[in-house]
């Protein structure tokens, strides 16, 4: 019997795309605002995404980079995971972002988020820059933002390019611009092709699938609708752009008590059967596929508890 999933592997991935550090909620914070950085560190986000790209104007890019590096280097301990979205390496700021962050604060950064990824080579080049900084950042992971038509087309190639990659993230605003679609599309299912394409690429390679932000920060019903939609598809978490979005996102991506109870019952029934094959549970036939889904529910519940306990 698997009691609360405690004997499941706690490596980078559990085999079903679930990392040992849960990312239900990923709060994006402008790197140019030290006040917002300080506030974010005490909020109920599983991951703080410090942004050096879209939310920072060109004239503030270099000061923001220096500020973020100093700020993180000065942190004694961090409850939430910390990711930094750097600028594209092809532009004037991206390479300096990676180099300075790794040299000054590499030990305080869990991952770098690479924006507008369209080819695997872009991820490999960021990895090369991290590795060139020696021992300063041996454990820094990577996440890929898929937010253009070309990125979506090559999502499978991107997802398998390096073991350092943790997740694929779907970015709607830039993807809408790339497709010529209005960014204000309200129905979550209108993005179904992009969502499922990214999800399949992530799952086939043991990665997390993270949904992009819902930008209407005062529309709680809309946020809940979008979050529940992608959670039902199989996504692991969602970005937030305002602290008030965190409770809804965390609740949506945390298994409910009845889901956990059902998962435990499935595992108990299959373990009690004494061998592979289908068995009946409360009038429903369950099998090894049911075990995989149940194990994932238990693992997500445990990871969510661990994340909450760290705060």
The three state secondary structure string of the chain is: CCCCCCCCCCCCCCCCCCCCCCCCEEEEEECCCHHHHHHHCCCCCCEEEEECCCCCCHHHHHHHHHHHHHHHHCCCCCCCEEEEECCCCCCCCHHHHHHHHHHHHHHHCCEEEECCCCCHHHHHHHHHHHHHCHHHCCCCEEEEEECCHHHHHCHHHHHCCCCCEEEEEECHHHHHHHHCCCCCCCCHHHHHHHHHHHHHHHHHCCCEEEECCCCCCCCHHHHHHHHHHHHHHCCCEEEECCHHHHHHHHHHCCCCHHHHHHHHHHHHHHHHCCCCCCEEECCEEECHHHHHHHHHHHHHHHHHHHHHHHC
Q: At 284, give phi and psi (nearest 5°).
A: -120, 140
pTM of the model: 0.86
Residue-by-residue pLDDT tens, the chain, 311 positions: 223 333 323 334 444 444 446 899 999 999 999 999 999 998 999 999 999 999 999 999 999 999 999 999 999 877 789 999 999 999 999 999 999 999 999 999 999 999 999 999 999 999 999 998 866 567 899 999 999 999 999 999 999 999 999 999 999 999 999 999 987 767 889 999 999 999 999 999 999 999 999 999 999 999 999 999 999 999 999 999 999 999 999 999 998 888 888 888 888 888 887 777 788 888 888 888 888 888 888 887 887 776 665 55
User: Residue with structure tokens 């909620």?
Assistant: 25
What is the third-level CATH fold of 25-252?
A: TIM Barrel (3.20.20)
Alpha-carbon distance 246 to 264, whole Å?
28
Alpha-carbon distance 35 to 45, whole Å?
17
Q: Hey, which residues does 146 pair with through a beta bridge?
A: 170
What does each C-alpha distance from 99 to 47, 62, 85, 104, 165 come to in angstroms? Answer: 22, 12, 13, 9, 18
Q: In the chain, where are the structural domains located?
A: 25-252, 257-310
């Amino acid at each position: 019997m698997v009691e609360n999933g405690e004997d499941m592997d706690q490596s980078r991935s559990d085999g079903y795309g679930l990392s040992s550090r849960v990312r239900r909620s990923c709060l994006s914070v402008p790197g140019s605002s030290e006040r917002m950085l300080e506030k974010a560190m005490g909020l109920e986000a599983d991951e703080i995404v410090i942004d050096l790209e879209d939310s920072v104007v060109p004239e503030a890019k270099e000061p923001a980079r220096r500020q973020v590096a100093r700020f993180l280097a000065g942190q004694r301990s961090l409850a939430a995971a910390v990711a930094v979205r750097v600028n594209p390496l092809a532009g004037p700021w991206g390479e300096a972002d990676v180099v300075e962050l790794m040299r000054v604060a590499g030990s305080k950064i869990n991952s770098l988020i690479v924006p507008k990824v369209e080819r695997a080579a872009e991820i490999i080049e960021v990895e090369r820059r991290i590795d060139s900084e020696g021992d300063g950042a041996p454990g820094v992971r990577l996440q890929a933002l898929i937010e253009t038509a070309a990125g979506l087309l090559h999502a499978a190639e991107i997802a398998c390019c390096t073991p350092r990659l943790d997740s694929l993230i779907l970015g709607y605003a830039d993807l809408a611009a790339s497709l010529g679609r209005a960014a204000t599309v309200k129905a979550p299912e209108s993005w179904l092709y992009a969502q499922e394409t990214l999800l399949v690429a992530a799952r086939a390679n043991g990665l997390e699938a993270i949904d992009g932000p819902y930008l209407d920060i005062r529309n709680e019903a809309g946020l809940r609708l979008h979050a529940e939609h992608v959670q039902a598809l199989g996504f692991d978490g969602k970005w937030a752009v305002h602290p008030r979005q965190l409770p809804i996102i965390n609740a949506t991506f945390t298994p409910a008590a009845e889901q956990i109870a059902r998962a435990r019952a499935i595992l108990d029934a299959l373990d009690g059967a004494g061998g592979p094959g289908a068995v009946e549970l409360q009038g429903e036939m369950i099998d090894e596929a049911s075990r995989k889904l149940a194990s994932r529910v238990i693992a997500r519940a445990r990871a969510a508890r661990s994340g909450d306990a760290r705060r």
